[in-house]
Amino acid sequence: MASSLENQPFKNREHIKAEIKRCALFGSVCQYFSFLFAALAIISEASNITLGLTPMSWLLLAILAALNAIIGHIHVVVAKNLLGIEAESKE
């Protein structure tokens, strides 16, 4: 028999909102880092200099940061959808 805690892993709506804000911040920071790493890869390759790492390493870091950003943004979407954060404004 399923317990009621499986359906509500958070304490209250304020806890849900705080979790959503943290995940949105994590996703945004990772997204900006991915743009920064991609720019460093392009600059490094175009100027034929090594900016600490090779251009391919910067590109791989950009891809990794973008994948981490996706994780944060998906968590926000799932939390809003499954936990019904939008239903609060309708009531």
Between residues 10 and 73, the one the model is more confident about: 73
Q: Please, are residues 15 and 84 in contact by the beta-carbon 8 Å criterion?
A: no
- 35 pLDDT higher than 90: yes
In a domain, 4, yes or no: no
In a domain, 6, yes or no: no
For 32: left if phi > 0, alpha if psi spans -120 to 50, otherwise beta; the answer is alpha
Based on the structure, what is the number of domains in the chain?
1
In a domain, 5, yes or no: no
Residue ranges making up the domain that contains 57: 13-90
Written as six digits, the tokens of 70 are: 């996706």
Q: How many CB atoms sit inside 10 A of residue 31's CB?
A: 17
Per-residue pLDDT tens over the stretch 37-65: 999 999 988 988 887 888 899 999 999 99
Percent of the chain with pLDDT over 90: 33
Q: What is the pLDDT of residue 79?
A: 80
Rounded mean pLDDT of the chain? 80
